[in-house]
């Protein structure tokens, strides 16, 4: 969703129960929350930031604790026309 000119934000939430495989992004027995922000300075210059949290819904019998992951991604893209 564009909330200001050249600024976009997106929220993604998904939850998949144990035994289900919907896509590689949504792993079984996990919930996923993702926030992405994109800023297009010009046609050839873009900055994108992504923060993602994955959390295990049910603890597996052989694990000591539930898995909980937090990661982030920053991408700066600069491109011109090739002649």
pLDDT tens digits for range 4-62: 888 999 999 988 887 776 676 777 788 999 999 999 988 889 999 999 999 988 776 67
16 within a domain of the structure (yes/no): yes
Structural domain count, the chain:
1
Range of the domain at 55: 2-78
CB contact burial 52-69 (16+ within 10 A = b; e otherwise): bebebeeeeeeeeeeeee
> Is residue 83 one of the residues assigned to a domain?
no
């Amino acid at each position: 969703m564009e909330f200001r000119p050249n600024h976009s934000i997106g929220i993604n939430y998904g939850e998949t129960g144990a035994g289900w495989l919907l896509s590689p992004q949504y792993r079984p027995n996990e919930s996923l929350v993702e926030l992405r922000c994109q800023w297009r300075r010009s046609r050839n210059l873009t900055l994108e930031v992504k923060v993602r949290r994955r959390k295990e819904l049910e603890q597996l019998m052989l694990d000591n604790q539930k898995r909980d992951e937090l990661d982030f991604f920053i991408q700066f893209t600069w491109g011109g026309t090739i002649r």
